[in-house]
Amino acid sequence: MHPLFLIPALMVAPANAQDVLVPEFTPVIAEDFTLAYMFYSLVVDELRVRGVDFIDGDQLRQVAGSDAEGCSESITCPSGLWGYFPGTGLALVGTVGLYNMGTASESIEVRVEFYERDGYQPFKTVERTIVPGGEADFAAALAKATDVLVQRLTATPEPEPTPEPEAGPEGRRSTLRGRAGRSEPEPEPEPTPEDQLYQSYYDVDSDDDDDRRKDKPPKAEREPRQRDDSPASTRAPREPKPKPEREPREPRQRSASNSEHHLLQAQAFAGLAIGDVGRSYDVRMSVMGAANTDLGRYEHDTFTSGVGTTFGGGIMVAPVEWLSIGAQLGVVTGRKYLSTGYERWAQGGQGSAEIQDYKPAPAMRGLIQPRVAVAPVAIGPVRPSVHAFFGFRRYDGYEVTDLTELAYPDRNGGWQLVPGAGLGAVYDLGEGRGISLDLSHAVRLGADEIHHVQQGLVTDLPEIPDPAQRTTTIAVGFTQGFM
């Protein structure tokens, strides 16, 4: 045999002499980790005091790796550990959680499951509610129960003693002398506080548990059991104590910090846009004679204040729980205002003039907004965030079509650059879903295009509206996590 083939056997060889697998207890939620580890340490210390041979969580991870972590939440634990430790016959799996923290009804909920080797279902389950301060007592009782189970699983039946033959009168006389000199049986010692605690917390000496043992002898052939090494009791069995009714648990508050993290997040949003959502354009022509010779032109193109709407969606990538990077695509709505006019000059004087105002028309600007958000702290189910973005908005142009006798210039559309930042918050609904509230403030880069060219006189120049270059957005959204 090649020497390398001996390595797996050497790795598991020290475990063959152990009796019990004791993976670290699993917390109900992440905040219960310290409590679960503290309680697990108490149980492990009590097992050492009682001399139970066991394999703890550190040894399990060294050999089995991730198969030994989160045991109570894994369908392959402890069944997947038996192959690593062929000498073990019992596994102890626990879950610990704290409920109603900070209230008068604060309690520790413990669930412990016992598995026999190659068993996929626990053959005994214990659920207890412990008042803070009683952890050490319960750990001692649990260690004693484990010790009793180990002794039962590893015990070998002793051969029945052979009765001595009573041959002849001498034998009968010696037997009579032995009976005459026999002392009365000593009274059974009163149960110790440890025995009472063990009995109240856990009862392992039930016939139902024995029935699950495949290699046990029939009940008729079984010898009376003894608790620890004390003499067998001759008293009548105790009446079972009625279990006190457990107070209903208060629902655990959901926390955004323990919600499942998702790599991708899809978003949909809608809200109000307040600021530079209006656009005003005015153009006037000055011409000479019937040939409409161009004498001069006046133009202004300004983004003005108003109230519009915004809506759209986005995709964010969250490499870690508190950081997301992505982009939003959407629309910002507003209104367009247009006025035109002309004046005609003939023979050195003004011949005619006409000014026309058009009704406001709806306008839309497309939105592309790369952004990054940071949310380092969660407050219950709410996770506040700070975000920054550099947006691009595409707007459309103007065209005058009804005054065809004049060569009016058209105004083209263009792009706006709108960097900004804001605050937000997401309320966690569970399963990757959330409702978001977003407040953003953007500043438009670049000046308005205002032109004033005059070669003649332009009648009734309009008042130029004050330009606006900032937008405040308030939006409500829905998020869904994936992956």
Please report the pLDDT score of residue 171 as a whole number.
46
Please report the pLDDT score of residue 226 as a whole number.
43
Q: Rounded to an integer, what distance in angstroms lies between the CA atom of residue 131 and that of residue 126?
A: 16
**Residue ranges per structural domain of the chain:** 3-154, 264-482
Residue 156: Cβ-neighbour burial (10 angstroms; 0-12, 13-18, 19+): exposed
Using alpha carbons only, how large is the chain's radius of gyration in Å?
43
Distance of CA 223 to the CA centre of its chain: 53
Residue among 108, 114, 110, 73 nearest 95 (CA) = 110
- Strands (E) in 120-195, as ranges, are 124-130
Residue among 51, 50, 26 nearest 39 (CA) = 26
Low-confidence stretches of the chain (pLDDT < 70) are: 1-18, 155-259, 450-461
Q: Rounded to an integer, what distance in angstroms lies between the CA atom of residue 319 and that of residue 325?
A: 8
Q: Rounded to an integer, what distance in angstroms lies between the CA atom of residue 174 and that of residue 181?
A: 10
264-482: what CATH class?
mainly beta
- Strands (E) in 347-469, as ranges, are 349-357, 361-374, 382-395, 414-430, 433-443, 449-453
Query: How many other CB atoms are there within 10 angstroms of residue 202's CB atom?
Result: 20
- How many angstroms separate the Cα of 421 from the Cα of each of 122, 192, 341? 55, 69, 42
3-154: what CATH class?
alpha beta
Residue 199: Cβ-neighbour burial (10 angstroms; 0-12, 13-18, 19+): middle
Q: Rounded to an integer, what distance in angstroms lies between the CA atom of residue 444 and that of residue 417?
A: 6
Query: For residue 195, what are its two tokens?
Result: 């025995």
* Amino acid, single-letter form, for residue 396: D
Please report the pLDDT score of residue 403 as a whole number.
77
User: SS3 for 220?
Assistant: helix
Please report the pLDDT score of residue 234 as a whole number.
43
Q: Rounded to an integer, what distance in angstroms lies between the CA atom of residue 97 and that of residue 107?
A: 9
- How many angstroms separate the Cα of 180 from the Cα of each of 174, 186, 410? 10, 16, 131
Domains 3-154 and 264-482 share a fold: no
- Tell the residue number behind the tokens 């009714």, with chain if given: 245
Q: Rounded to an integer, what distance in angstroms lies between the CA atom of residue 200 and that of residue 217?
A: 28
Please report the pLDDT score of residue 388 as a whole number.
96
Please report the pLDDT score of residue 382 as a whole number.
93
